[in-house]
Structure 1
Amino acid sequence: MSEDKDELVKASTGTETALDVASFVGSAVPWIGGPVSNVLGGMSLGRKLGRVREVLESLSNDLKEFKSEASESYVKTEEFEDLLEQTLKRVGEERNEEKRHLYKAFLTDAIESPEPYDDQLCLLRTFEQISPDHIRVLKAFSQEPNPNPGMMGSPIQTLRERLPELDEQHIEEIVAQLNDMRVTNLGNLKVMMTGHGAADIRIDFFHQLLKLKEIVCYEVA
């Protein structure tokens, strides 16, 4: 699913309600069921409930085997409920599936590694600067390299192979934007190098987005 199709995620049943979603989450991961129920009970999602359900189901899968007393205490706080509400509102409005997945990853990280509310909210706001094409390019960087590349190559050649739906100029523009945001720090994409060097352009996708928080939230201009 992509933003181009502009489709709402369908509810699992025609009469599904927010409380049904909260009940599912509570049965899968009981210790986050209460906060989810509290937040969903106060939200008006209408046809956008399917998007929220999709993210909460994926979040439940992430946390099913996770155990932490600190996290279980954190999700009971008012700060977490506020953060969850802020995130789910964005999820409900977000048409792009990949960006909704990003919000899910944000919630997983927030629960597993609790940080002060202002820091988490700042990171959530920085995600609003990230476009679907930014996500596509960052994911292309994070892919495992081809084990049998040619003798020579360049980073832009690798990106073009991984992003056939984007033309070369647009890829260069997106990378330049990521450099300006200091999510990446890449030089000349057209420089020729060994095939293995050109194929191995890996960066950790979510780690790079966490770096954005350090820049936006903490750096003094």
Structure 2
Amino acid sequence: MSDEKNELILASTGTEKALDVVSFVGSAVPWIGGPVSNVLSGMSLGRKLGRVREVLESLSNDLKEFKSEASESYVKTEEFEDLLEQTLKRVGEERNEEKRHLYKAFLTDSIESPGEPYDDQLRLLRTFEQISPDHIQVLKAFSQKPEPNPGSMGTPIQTLRQRLPDFDEKRIEEIVAQLNDMRITNQRSLKTMMTGHGAADLRHSVTGYGSKIVNYIYEA
């Protein structure tokens, strides 16, 4: 079979699968079926459609019992359609399942609580692209509540090493530096000796912007 025929078959199969996704979403949550149809009809997804389908089906399940006139009006806007397209393109490219769940949580939140400035939402999407599964694990470690009796003295790096046994100290330092650069954390003194409670409670080192990302991580 020629390459040209192969491409035609793949294109046809992809179209049929996209229609299946639109049909499922439209059946589960009719008021977002239109925007999903518009976005998928203009995207060349091919084999990446499975990732998109996974996220859209999960989104539909989240919204199945949700009712809001404001949300139903919002999903009909050009702004939402642009945001949906930007998100689903990233979903199609994302190989990591945990990060795809982040995008789903982001879409659910944007529909249930419309009103965030579009530029702020795009910034979040760009950050989701930048962060790795290791970044997510370190952020979870930062966000943990301290143990009731953390000891009399300690350092933040000791706390992180205890919470991240699969990471060596150098790797933790690298990831924290990257999170600082992205304005997700502001932890500058990993090796400073302090009280046990101070060393164990690292939640204050997550910035306001970082807290939004942490919320999505735990919603995902």
TM-score above 0.5: yes
Answer yes or no: is the 8 Å Cα contact 1:26–1:33 preserved in 2: yes
| Structure 1 position 88, deviation (Å) | 0.5
CA distance in structure 2 between the aligned counterparts of 1:205 and 1:66, rounded to whole angstroms: 31
1:184 match: 185
- Cα deviation 1:117-157 (Å, max 9, x = unaligned): 34433432343332332222112212333345444433222
Answer yes or no: is the 8 Å Cα contact 1:55–1:101 preserved in 2: yes
Answer yes or no: is the 8 Å Cα contact 2:110–2:116 preserved in 1: yes
1:95 match: 95
| Structure 1 position 75, deviation (Å) | 0.4
Distance 1:59 1:148, change over 3 A: farther
2:25 match: 25
Q: CA RMSD in A?
A: 2.9
CA distance in structure 1 between the aligned counterparts of 2:199 and 2:124, rounded to whole angstroms: 31
1:195 match: 196
| Structure 1 position 87, deviation (Å) | 0.9
Count the aligned residue pairs: 198
AA matched with 2:125: L
Answer yes or no: is the 8 Å Cα contact 2:74–2:114 preserved in 1: no
Range moving further from structure 2, 70-79 or 151-160: 151-160
Provide TM-score, normalisation by structure 1.
Answer: 0.75
Distance 1:107 1:162, change over 3 A: same
2:11 match: none
Distance 1:197 1:74, change over 3 A: same
1:158 match: 159
| Structure 1 position 73, deviation (Å) | 0.4
Answer yes or no: is the 8 Å Cα contact 1:183–1:211 preserved in 2: no
The within-5 A match list for 1:127-146 is: 127-146=128-147
Distance 1:50 1:83, change over 3 A: same
CA distance in structure 1 between the aligned counterparts of 2:203 and 2:65, rounded to whole angstroms: 28
Answer yes or no: is the 8 Å Cα contact 1:154–1:191 preserved in 2: yes
CA distance in structure 2 between the aligned counterparts of 1:147 and 1:54, rounded to whole angstroms: 40
CA distance in structure 2 between the aligned counterparts of 1:72 and 1:205, rounded to whole angstroms: 33
AA matched with 1:129: Q
- Cα deviation 1:38-90 (Å, max 9, x = unaligned): 22233222221121122223323333343322111010112211211111011
AA matched with 1:123: L
Indicate the SS of the match to 2:24.
helix
Answer yes or no: is the 8 Å Cα contact 1:31–1:72 preserved in 2: yes
Indicate the SS of the match to 1:32.
helix
Distance 1:144 1:29, change over 3 A: farther
Range moving further from structure 2, 162-171 or 203-212: 203-212
| Structure 1 position 211, deviation (Å) | 6.9
CA distance in structure 1 between the aligned counterparts of 2:86 and 2:25, rounded to whole angstroms: 18
Provide TM-score, normalisation by structure 2.
Answer: 0.75
Indicate the SS of the match to 1:128.
helix
The within-5 A match list for 1:6-45 is: 17-45=17-45
Range moving further from structure 2, 203-212 or 170-179: 203-212
Distance 1:182 1:120, change over 3 A: closer
- Cα deviation 1:182-209 (Å, max 9, x = unaligned): 2211131223334343332236989534
* Structure having the higher Rg: 2
- Cα deviation 1:157-201 (Å, max 9, x = unaligned): 221222222211111111112222222111312233343433322
